[in-house]
Amino acid sequence: MSREAVQAAVATAGSNVTYGGAGASVASWLLSSEFGVLAGLLLGLAGFLVNLYFKRQENQRQQVRARREEKEHQARMRKLERVTSPGSLDSREADE
């Protein structure tokens, strides 16, 4: 399994923990259990922090990928300009 797949799975688990913590807080509040409310809030916070961490990682990967793709695009454009410029060898051969 790739690193990105593992990180996506952990981020999904973090979301599930957040929802579980929120649900536990509501259920405990309805049952008047102070410990349950506190535990649910802590679980929700933990899930939120895990989710936040992995979203930042994903954003960083996307930025790196975008920069790399932009560099590749610029390199292809420079190569095309050299090939299609009026003084290039290929265009002179086409004229003959």
Would you state the structure tokens that stand for residue 68, as one six-digit string?
């790399």
Which one-letter amino acid corresponds to residue 78?
Answer: R
pTM: 0.53
For residue 29, the number of C-alpha atoms closer than 13 Å in the C-beta half-sphere is: 9
Greater model confidence, 93 or 24:
24
Q: Per-residue pLDDT for 92 more than 70?
A: no
- Distance separating alpha carbons of residues 96 and 93, to the nearest angstrom: 5
- What integer best gives the mean pLDDT of the chain? 80
Helix (H, G, I), strand (E, B) or coil at 85: coil
pLDDT band at 4 (very low <50, low <70, confident <90, very high): confident
